[in-house]
Amino acid sequence: MATSRKFSKERLALKMSLAGTVVLASLGVGYGLYVGSNAILLDGMFSLMSMGMTGLSLYTAYLVAKPDDHHFQFGYAHIEPLINVVNGLLILVTCLFAFINGVQTIVSGGHDIVLEHALIYAVMSTFCCFGIYFAETHIAKKVQSELVRVDSQEWLIDGILSAAILVGFLLVMALDSLGYSQWNRYVDPILVSALSLAAAVLPITVLRRNLKEVLLVAPQDGVQKKVDRVIEKLAEDYHFEDYTHHFAKTGRQYDLEVNILVKDEKYWTTTRQDQVRQVLWDALHDQLGDTWLSVTFTGQARWL
């Protein structure tokens, strides 16, 4: 029941995000073209791209809740970090192209914008983006969802973009009042270049974390140390001849394989083997949650 509520809240957050991206993408692209602002157009394009990725994340949330089947016999957990990697790459590429476009516009002499309409969009977008970001952050922490957490980071980037655009347009008004209106043409492309560089930090962080899971890199954190300690104590208590273990995290699922070398076949009955499995599960279940656990016993060191 608790797992069902978790998935329900996760999907609700992603549906809310999808609705928000539809509205902001339409406003951003429309306003950006109307007022002639590349910064607003970038914001709208970012929302448009987020719309597709949020839809994909929502579909992934349905998939990872499904049990393993004939086609995916290890379940669907591995799809989650893969989607996050794709998401991060798309955001990073968008930031790169926006930066190049901003620099090219500065070199070519900048361009004018329709300030009044641009301010209306900047205020609406900033309020909406940060509102959804805080709502998703709360849900992500409550249900421990990496999908919602990554999606909330997109809203944070979009909110920072919108807030910086708002500050930039207020700067244009200040320059006008001080008699430096000749510099107004450069404010929009400077905003685009600066914001695209700043926004690139978050997708790089997402890529670094999720690529490790896609590549099955062992978690370098307290969970790995906990697993090491538990198995080491188990080896001492039950006097294993030798053992090896392999540990990885894929999405919201941990995979733990333990191979144990034993010599006395009469002593290591199936009942005793199951006892070791149960002790291991009891010690790690609270911390690892839905873990794919495999414990094998062998009399030959070659199978370790």
Token pair listed for 50: 């987020």
What local confidence, expressed as pLDDT, does residue 11 receive?
79
The 3-state DSSP class for residue 67 equals coil
**Residue carrying the six token digits 């450069």:** 186
Closest C-alpha among 154, 192, 171, 147 to residue 11? 147
What local confidence, expressed as pLDDT, does residue 239 receive?
87
* Distance of alpha carbon 151 from alpha carbon 78, whole angstroms: 18
What local confidence, expressed as pLDDT, does residue 1 receive?
42
CA separation, residue 165 to residues 62, 66, 68, 263 (Å): 36, 42, 46, 70
* Distance of alpha carbon 296 from alpha carbon 304, whole angstroms: 9
* Distance of alpha carbon 3 from alpha carbon 97, whole angstroms: 41
Strand order from edge to edge, sheet including 242-250: 242-250, 253-261, 291-298
Q: Provide the phi-psi class of 239: left if phi over 0, else alpha when psi is between -120 and 50, else beta.
A: left
Structural domains in the chain, CATH included, are 2-214 (1.20.1510.10), 222-303 (3.30.70.1350)
Residue type, 155: W
Q: At 255, phi and psi to the nearest 5?
A: -120, 120
* Distance of alpha carbon 283 from alpha carbon 33, whole angstroms: 59
**Strands 291-298, 242-250: pairing kind:** unpaired
Report yes or no: 230 and 284 within 8 Å, Cβ to Cβ. yes
Per-residue pLDDT of the chain (304 residues; tens, 9 = 90+): 455 566 677 778 878 888 888 888 888 888 778 877 777 777 777 777 766 666 777 677 677 667 766 776 666 677 778 887 887 888 788 788 778 888 888 888 877 776 667 788 888 888 988 998 998 888 888 877 777 887 787 788 778 777 877 887 788 788 777 877 777 778 778 877 887 887 788 788 878 888 887 777 777 667 788 888 888 998 888 888 899 988 887 766 788 889 999 888 888 899 999 999 999 888 888 777 767 888 999 888 888 8
What local confidence, expressed as pLDDT, does residue 75 receive?
66
